[in-house]
Structure 1
Amino acid sequence: MIDLIGAVALLLWGIRMVKTGVSRAFGARLRRWIAAATRNRLMAFGVGLAATMALQSSTATALMTASFAGSGFISSAMAQAIMLGANVGTSLVTRILAFDIHWLAPLMIAAGVVMFTFSEARPHKGIARAVLGLGLMLLSLHLLGQSTEPMRQSEVLRALMASLDAVPALAVVVAAVLPIASSSSLAIVLLVMSLAASGTVGPALGIALVLGANLGGAVPPVIATMGDGPLARRVTIGNLAVRLIGCVIVLPFADQAASALSGFALEPAQLVVDAHIGLNLLLAAIMLPLLGAVSWAMRRLLPEVPIQGGPGHLDQASLSNPAMALAGAVRETLRIGDNVTDMLQKNLEALRRNDTKLCADIAAMDDEVDRLHEQVKLYLSNLNRTDLDEDEAHRSAEIVSYAINLEHIGDIIEKNLHDLVVKKIRNQLTFSAPGAAEIEEVYAVTIANLRIAQSILVSGDAKLARRLVEAKVDIRYLEKRSADNHLNRLRDGQIESLQTSALHLDILRDLKRINAHIAAIAYPILKEAGVLSESRLLEIAKPAGRAS
């Protein structure tokens, strides 16, 4: 049993390495291919099949497809066609791995290690990771065969299999639980294949276990998308419903199917694989013409509802009243600012506590900032088509400018500061006590400045605007002072400062950039008040006697 557990764990790890390696090497291309598969059902089916054979994970394909459907890039019917292809793809992967090519495992492991060691580019490292994962999968299958061989003599296992064979529905349930726990139906089908090869599992029971593995493999994507909108959940729940239909159709005829496949399969293990492929091909043949009905059922089950957290103050009816429309746009833009403030605070807390979970949702928050920013811009562009006086047009431009700057700040936090925090935690780095205090001070001033900018958007107060621009100067001095202190600590040979030098300076640089975006709200107000110079360059006196 210990050998069996270790072999299954190695198989799961190999599958994970292939999935992450292919995603890192070709992830962007795979996403484009999946997003482009909307012309017809057969094309969508083919893309789902190819993507899953590359990723060796129908779960990964399901999550990508659900994200596209949730964003409205592909229809529910096309998403279900992709999932039918994904189900066939994972069964074909099982067929390939079922060939006795375990002798390739050492070669692929060695090649993967060498490629990963000497590769510099991220795509090349991803390919090396996938090759190494394939080698580990082949090795694990060899170990699975060895570990299941002694099970032929196990009376306990025989009794267990006999009880499952007597109640096929129970076998389906037991086999469905295993992919939920392991997040891989492929691994469970390969395990059933090994048990069949050792004579522990009979043909009819093998088919029941394959049905359960297929059904359970559709559950992890459902769990992963529970917090998403109805468009995304229609994909995963629809895929689960399709697999459940397949179980209901095939299970009563498991004995007949086993007899039919026995005429083609030369070995018990081959019968299990053929049943896996046949089930998914049957489902594809039945469901592809019925995708319209499946989509209709999913729309009835999961109707669209207003997105929580979406724009709440952009009333289209108010566009005929510019004053009310501008007030609503201001309130929505303040929400964007509040989200950005939360992102900064979470990032600081994660930096302080060395806990990536505290900023795990920063990417989702940035997506929300992007959505609200686009909605505000679209709303005000519609408003600008109406007759606005000069003040209203100026106010509209001011709001859009501030929203754009907030969106830039969100990108800096999500793409730069968040990655710097993760790098610090992953490498177990620690700032020196003075360095940490300096960084936290700049964070605190930045958050305070953002709150001032929020007040300025509402009030348009020139005194607050002047205070914000002065605070930007203070940030510049804080950043320079901290950088100078950091260099002094480097000269003194402080270990913490030596290890975190790049992180320290990069965080200061990004916070300085954020403050530049924050201060932009003040410039139009100060310019209108006549207290903003066009340039910080000093006027140079002309030499005497020179012609003017």
Structure 2
Amino acid sequence: MLTLLHLLSSIALLVWGTHIVRTGIMRVYGSHLRRLLGHSMANAPMAFTAGIGVTALVQSSNATALLAISFVAQGLMALPTALAIMLGADVGTALMARVLTLDLSWLSPLFTLLGVFLFLSRKQTRAGQLGRVLIGLGLIILALQLIVTAAAPITEARGMQVLFSSLAGDTLLAVVVGALFAVLAYSSLAAVLLTATLASAGLISLPVALGVVIGANVGSGVLAWLNATPQPAPARRVALGNLLYKLAGLLALPFLPMLVEWMATLGFGAQTQVIAFHLAYNSLRCLLLLPTVGLMAGLCERLLPERPQDNGIAQPRHLDPTALDTPTLALANATRETLRIGDLVETMLARLLEVLREDRPEPGEDIRRLDDDVDALYSGVKLYLARMPRDDLAEQESRRWAEIIELAINLEQAGDIIEHMLGKVQNLKTSQRRSFSDSGRDELSQLHSLLTANLALGLSVFLSGDSHSARQLLQHKRQFRKRERELAHAHVHRLHQQVVESIETSAAHLELIADMKRLNSLFCSAAYAALEGSNTGKQRAAGETSTARELPNAEPLPGKPA
């Protein structure tokens, strides 16, 4: 029992190592890999090569599949190109399996020691994330050695020999086992490495090992399909084509007995034979299928036709889930979606002015529809940011994360306030059948104009973080407050003069002014975050300067006299 536990823990260590390498590479080079895939759209061979290179780096065809699926979902890549990338990803996985099964035992302690040093000393930097990758590589190599050690006693157990020998006569069962392990481990690479290691230890026969390898390929296709299930039809077509290509590899099963007999004459070890089969199988299959990407794209389009499901509510456009492992990209996506919320709020403000000036019902209907859109996009941004690993964010990235969520919250609240203002105006015009005086309407229009300008400037400050624009925004906020007080006093003066329209609409008029005051505070909040970030940078620079001056033998700062 203890021996089996050691084997299972070694397998878990192998899976964890591949996960660490994949996430570490994506966080450091995720943007570059996405750019590489984005630039490989000229032809199928170039896309095929890009798929090999990206997968060899991230050590996961599933990660490459997520990138390709996201490109197709956003309309940035054609389906045949994405399918060519997925074929290249299978070859990239096979190449990395070959590299990792070389005799690299001496690298395990070196990678682990160096990786831990870099990760702990520079955790929030690129060097720290590269240390994370080295730790993962060290764990993979160590796990392969532990699997060999733990499997040795198991091979001598009579019961285990009977269990694994039962698989020898059922190749399809071995395929199913391989597919299940690839799905559970979230990595076909881990499944292939484990299979090769168990075969070298004599725990499983060569026919079973080859069946498990084919099954692991199919499992990675199933995994990509499961990940693409929530995506729109264009994205699911990529996963479907990838899965169909993997299933096409099952045509090799009838030839396995002859292949095993021929491989037995070569005199190589079991591990070498399994890895060589995996590389040859994927390379030959993918090269033969590469010319068919256009036909497969057409088949997938027929199997998964576009079915528009427009419920009238806006959906996020920029929240790419595959970018979550790359914080800079994920934050940029969230920023773009938050600015989109700001545009919707700006449109709501414009419709509110129409409601104040006109009696048509259409602007009010637009405001309610737009508020539903704001709520939907805000929920998307909030959940997207919640999925980001904040512990691994650098200080600047963590600050940007907070700025985005704060502005999204403020814009969502602004949308609710505008909808409530709509209700007040419509209630005044329809239920009470009253209207604002000409002076009162002009005053509300003036505040509305200032409010719209502050919203636009606030979004600009949020995007640029410019301290000068932030101070200008705060000045505009004070000017708005001053104008708001002046107009409130003017309204009270009209009440003193017994202006009938002002008396009838007094409560609603003052409430709308108070609502605009709240909106102005929400729109100008971005200025404080920008100024806080600027002051933090200045304080850090000042601290470094004072530290240098305090050290007796400190070198002078660049540009400063010694």
TM-score, length of structure 1 as denominator length: 0.64
- Counterpart in the other structure of 1:434: none
- Counterpart in the other structure of 1:450: 415
For residues 504-519 of structure 1, the aligned pairs below 5 Å read: none
Aligned with residue 149 of structure 1, among 138, 141, 152: 152
**SS of equivalent residue, structure 1 residue 99:** coil
Over 3 Å counting, the alpha-carbon distance change for 1:219 and 1:103 in structure 2 is same
Cα separation, 2, equivalents of 1:57 and 1:403: 41
State the Cα distance separating 1:182 from its structure 2 match: 1.3
Cα separation, 1, equivalents of 2:196 and 2:297: 34
State the Cα distance separating 1:215 from its structure 2 match: 0.9
1:190 aligns with 2:183: no
**SS of equivalent residue, structure 2 residue 268:** coil
Cα separation, 2, equivalents of 1:460 and 1:84: 60
Aligned with residue 204 of structure 1, among 178, 193, 207: 207
State the Cα distance separating 1:21 from its structure 2 match: 0.6
- Counterpart in the other structure of 1:223: 226
Contact 2:338 2:378 in 1 (8 A): no
Contact 1:369 1:407 in 2 (8 A): no
- Counterpart in the other structure of 1:270: 272
- Counterpart in the other structure of 2:289: 287
**SS of equivalent residue, structure 1 residue 296:** helix
Over 3 Å counting, the alpha-carbon distance change for 1:97 and 1:416 in structure 2 is closer
For residues 249-328 of structure 1, the aligned pairs below 5 Å read: 249-264=251-266, 266-309=268-311, 312=312
For residues 137-536 of structure 1, the aligned pairs below 5 Å read: 137-247=140-250, 249-264=251-266, 266-309=268-311, 312=312, 414=381, 418=385, 449-456=414-421
State the Cα distance separating 1:416 from its structure 2 match: 12
Over 3 Å counting, the alpha-carbon distance change for 1:140 and 1:121 in structure 2 is same
Q: Which amino acid aligns with 2:281?
A: L
State the Cα distance separating 1:202 from its structure 2 match: 2.0
Cα separation, 1, equivalents of 2:384 and 2:188: 37
Paired positions, count: 409
- Counterpart in the other structure of 2:23: 20
Over 3 Å counting, the alpha-carbon distance change for 1:123 and 1:308 in structure 2 is farther
Q: Which amino acid aligns with 2:126?
A: P
- Counterpart in the other structure of 2:67: 64
Contact 2:48 2:87 in 1 (8 A): yes
- Please give the root-mean-square deviation of Cα atoms over the aligned residues, in Å: 5.0
Q: Which amino acid aligns with 2:160?
A: L
State the Cα distance separating 1:255 from its structure 2 match: 1.2
Tell which deviates more after alignment, 167-176 or 5-14. Answer: 167-176
Aligned with residue 13 of structure 2, among 10, 18, 24: 10
**SS of equivalent residue, structure 1 residue 266:** coil
State the Cα distance separating 1:279 from its structure 2 match: 1.3
**SS of equivalent residue, structure 1 residue 201:** coil
TM-score, length of structure 2 as denominator length: 0.62
Tell which deviates more after alignment, 29-38 or 362-371. Answer: 362-371
1:125 aligns with 2:90: no
Residues 77-133 of structure 1 show CA distances to partners (whole Å, capped at 9, x for unaligned) of 110100001011011111001111112101100000111122265322221111111
Residues 307-351 of structure 1 show CA distances to partners (whole Å, capped at 9, x for unaligned) of 545xx3xxxxxxxxxxxxxxxxxxx7xx69xx9xxxxxxxxxxxx
Over 3 Å counting, the alpha-carbon distance change for 1:283 and 1:122 in structure 2 is same
Q: Which amino acid aligns with 1:36?
A: H
Q: Which amino acid aligns with 2:262?
A: A
Cα separation, 1, equivalents of 2:287 and 2:376: 50
State the Cα distance separating 1:169 from its structure 2 match: 1.1
Residues 416-470 of structure 1 show CA distances to partners (whole Å, capped at 9, x for unaligned) of 995699869x9xxxxxxxxxxxxxxx99998665322134468878889969979
Unaligned runs of 5+ in 2: 317-329, 348-356, 394-406, 427-435, 452-469, 492-508, 521-562
**SS of equivalent residue, structure 1 residue 166:** coil
Over 3 Å counting, the alpha-carbon distance change for 1:121 and 1:364 in structure 2 is closer
State the Cα distance separating 1:261 from its structure 2 match: 3.2
**SS of equivalent residue, structure 1 residue 8:** helix
Q: Which amino acid aligns with 1:34?
A: L
State the Cα distance separating 1:414 from its structure 2 match: 4.0
Contact 1:453 1:468 in 2 (8 A): no
Unaligned runs of 5+ in 1: 313-331, 340-360, 379-389, 427-441, 474-508, 536-548
